[in-house]
Structure 1
Amino acid sequence: MFNSIEIPFGCSMLFNVVDLKQGVTVEDVELLLGEMCNVVKNNYGDDNGGFIGGQVYRNAGFISEEGSVQPEYEGKKRIKQNMGDLVIVTYWKSFEQHEKSHADALFKEKFSKLAAYCDNTFEVGYEMLWQGVPENH
């Protein structure tokens, strides 16, 4: 469940922002989120399904001065972000396989339960252009 993942070059990455309703905590949805992720992992992780791996992140609010170019962030270590409380990052062999899996009734049932706790959720797809690891010296 908590193993590292290898991301093959050329895969599609889907970045799902989850904005929880006021008063809803990550702990409130943790079990639903785990069930949804297990449905994906256990049902769409073959050649037909196309799921490669995924990660879930909690928004910690810290910001990189070195990687940000907006002047209003200068000198700030943390900010209140309007980017959601969680992000779900998933990797797929193709965008089409992602869409097919998410149209499936089994996934929709789990996702709709999570969505009931959200003000907003949106998922944006990305195509990989580069990846790398440190060179061994």
Structure 2
Amino acid sequence: MFHPIEIPFGCVMLFNVVDLKEGVSIEDVELTLGEMCNVVKNNYGDDKGGFIGGQVFKYAGFISEEGSVGAESSAEKEKAEKVKTGEVAIITYWKSFEQHEKSHADKLFKEKFDELATFCDDTHELGYEMLWQGVPE
């Protein structure tokens, strides 16, 4: 459950931002998130399913001035407010975007995702193709 993951070059990454409703805490969705992630891990992880690995992060409120260009202070303040209401990032790695979409259209996954959605104001998932990866030498 908490083991390091290896991400092969050429995979796709899906970045899902989950904006929790006001008054909903990370603790309120922890079980649902865990169950949803286990459904993906246990049912779509073979070559046919295409799931490679994933991570879940909670927004911590820090914003990098060194890594941000053109960020306005009002946007930074708005983002920092998410700490109060809660925001989660779900990052998953797949062999292909098509395999991701097939898994997420599956009834088993949709049931868990729909349960998570009841706690959310908004959720959106963006897909990225890997261009580079590396580790210190």
TM-score by length of 1: 0.90
Which consecutive residues of structure 2, in runs of 5 or more, have no partner in the other structure?
none
Greater shift, 63-72 or 25-34, is seen at 63-72
The residue aligned with 2:6 is 6
Whole-Å separation in 2 of the counterparts to 1:9 and 1:131: 7
Unmatched 5+ stretches in structure 1: none
1:71 CA drift (Å): 5.4
User: How does 1:77-88 map onto structure 2 within 5 Å?
Assistant: 80=80, 85-88=87-90
SS of residue in 2 equivalent to 1:28: helix
2:69 corresponds in structure 1 to: 69
> What displacement does 1:81 show?
5.6
Aligned length: 131
Q: Is 1:109 matched up with 2:111?
A: yes
Equivalences for residues 33-52 of structure 1 within 5 A: 33-52=33-52
CA shift at 1:91, angstroms? 0.1
Matched with 2:16 is 16
Q: Which runs of 4+ in 1 moved over 4 A?
A: 81-84
TM-score if structure 2 supplies the norm length? 0.90
Q: 1:64 Cα shift?
A: 1.2
- Residues 36 and 113 of structure 2 are in contact (CA less than 8 Å); yes or no, is this contact kept in structure 1? yes
**Partners of 2:61 and 2:82 within 8 A in 1:** no
Instruction: Find the residue that maps to 2:80 and give its secondary structure.
Output: coil
Distance in 2, Cα, partners of 1:72 & 1:48: 44
The question of whether the paired residues in 1 share the 8 Å contact of 2:59 and 2:82 is answered with no
Partner-residue secondary structure (3-state), 1:80: helix
How far does residue 66 in structure 1 lie from its aligned partner after superposition?
1.1
Coordinate RMSD, CA, aligned: 1.7
- Partner Cα separation in structure 2 for residue 35 and residue 109 of structure 1: 10
Which has the larger helix fraction?
Answer: 2
| Alpha-carbon offset, residue 72 of structure 1 | 3.4
Q: Percent identity?
A: 76
Structure 2 counterpart of 1:93: 95
